[in-house]
Structure 1
Amino acid sequence: MSDQQTKIDAEKFAYHFMDTINRPEIDTEGMEGAAKEALAAYLTAYYLIQKFNHLENDFFVEDHKKPVSNYQRILSELNKY
């Protein structure tokens, strides 16, 4: 297996994720709710990548007793959330 780990910049990922969200025109009354939704989306994306990076670090050393690849184990862990 390669000795290079995959490391994703959580902040950049979260900002790019925010760019993909469809945001309709917001009136003044709905601005706080829209901001809360945007913040929740940003934080979810940010912490998901933080979790991925942490799991990738933990699983980088392969356990040769198991035939499952590192990335299959990481995806399995991420799917729990």
Structure 2
Amino acid sequence: MSERTQIDSEKFALNFASSNYEKGLNKKELIKESKDYLISYLTAYYLAQDFNNAEKKSFDNDGIKFQDLSFEELKNRVRDLNKY
């Protein structure tokens, strides 16, 4: 991977604080929740990147555009993606 992931600290903190404000967590719980939130965020982020890369590889490599595939070709490509 040539690019490093950068998290906008302010956006992350605001989203986390907003989602946990009303829970009334103590400091220990808050730290655990923030770590869990970060793990969830990064997991979703990298899964989405993996999907985008697989989709790009599958549908852009041979010059055939998604909208030009027949339903059967699309099913075959999705099936092939699920092999990994």
What TM-score do you get using the length of structure 1 for normalisation?
Answer: 0.51
Please state which structure has a larger fraction of its residues in helix: 2
Structure 1 residues 44 and 58, CA gap change in structure 2 (3 angstroms): same
Matches within 5 A, 1:2-81: 9=1, 12=4, 15-16=5-6, 18-19=7-8, 20-21=11-12, 22=14, 23-24=16-17, 27-60=27-60, 61=62, 62-63=64-65, 66=68
The match for 1:76 is none
Quote the sequence identity (%). 11
After superposition, the CA RMSD in angstroms is 3.2
Larger Rg: 2
- Alpha-carbon distance change, 27 to 11 in structure 1, aligned in 2, over 3 angstroms: farther
- Structure 2: 5+ residue runs without aligned partners? 18-25, 70-84
Rate the CA distance shift 1:48–1:35 in 2: closer, same or farther, 3 A.
same
Task: For CA contacts below 8 A with separation 6 or more, give which structure has more relative contact order.
Answer: 1
Runs of 4 or more, structure 1, over 4 Å off, are none
